[in-house]
Amino acid sequence: MPSLKQALDGFSPDTALILGSGLGGVAKAVRNAKTVPYGELDGFPQGGVSGHAGALVAGELGKHKVAVLSGREHYYEHGNAAAMRNALEQLAQVGVTKLVATNSAGSLRKKVGPGAVMQINDHINFSGTNPLIGEQDDSRFVGLTSAYDFDLIKSFRRAAKREDIALSKGTYMWFSGPTFETPAEIRMAKMMGADAVGMSTVPEVILARFLGLRVAAFSCITNLGAGMTGDELSHEETKENGPKAGLRLQAILENAFAKGLK
């Protein structure tokens, strides 16, 4: 099975994007695209969640050469917080210096409801684990004060303004999943300062910073947190509302990449 470097055959992307549910349109916007299923790449995630394509798309998006990961492996699938480490390491080896991560999330703010986009400017790791557990030297002590790159944040906020799309910002809390949170957990998350909750992204951000990549991240809001509406949550709701926010986020991403990221 070929490595990513072998599959790309000399193509050297500078930016990688990890797409959550409902963002398949971003991959379709890539020019001169080459698509490689994860199953044909050594070390790429073999797990599967409905709504995730499970393929890498390499090509051009705006002024950038990109590698788009349509889907990720989640901690809750196999209990491995470092599931995306091999893929991210290979991306860094072929020239990637920036990572844009996206996810579907539940909002803790009623004014930022289903269909909205939230830019993540900080996170809370509430999972009880970390993808760097077991790392053997001092490189494991990664500083996360500036986990989300300030210049990238500004680039995307300018793009949202040009597209006239409301882009909230806030703190994302990572729960392990796969169950949705309880109303009590949502009340706790609010008290701890979270603005959205979800089951991904944080381990990838930690790994990316460990590898020296600059990071930006976004949540596509699919629902309000448990207990905020009285309705039960479901993955079907995620798949239904994800694309609505995904269209807005896609417009922001394409505009930012067309202008060029700093």
Average pLDDT per block of 10 residues along the chain, 262 residues long: 92 96 85 94 74 83 96 93 96 98 96 96 97 96 98 98 98 96 97 97 98 98 90 74 88 96 89
3-state secondary structure of 79: coil
CB 159 within 8 A of CB 138: no
Per-residue model confidence (pLDDT) at position 54: 87
Domains identified in the chain, total number: 1
In angstroms, the Cα distances linking 256 to 170, 212, 241, 253, 261 are 20, 22, 23, 5, 6
Per-residue model confidence (pLDDT) at position 47: 56
Per-residue model confidence (pLDDT) at position 239: 74
Rounded to 5, what percent of the chain is helix, strand, coil? Answer: 35, 25, 40
pTM of the predicted model over 0.85: yes
Per-residue model confidence (pLDDT) at position 256: 98
H or E stretch including 206? Answer: helix 202-210
Q: Which CATH number belongs to the domain containing residue 163 in this structure? A: 3.40.50.1580
Beta 64-70 vs 15-19: how paired, if at all? parallel
What's the CA gap between 51 and 235, in Å, rounded? 10
Domain that holds residue 197: 4-259
Per-residue model confidence (pLDDT) at position 22: 73
Query: Two tokens at 214?
Result: 């600059």
Per-residue model confidence (pLDDT) at position 231: 75
Per-residue model confidence (pLDDT) at position 104: 93
Query: Two tokens at 235?
Result: 């993955």
User: φ, ψ for residue 235 (rounded to 5)?
Assistant: -70, -25
Render 134-186 in DSSP notation, one character per residue. Answer: T--SGGG----TT-S-HHHHHHHHHHHHHHT--EEEEEEEE---SSPPPHHHH
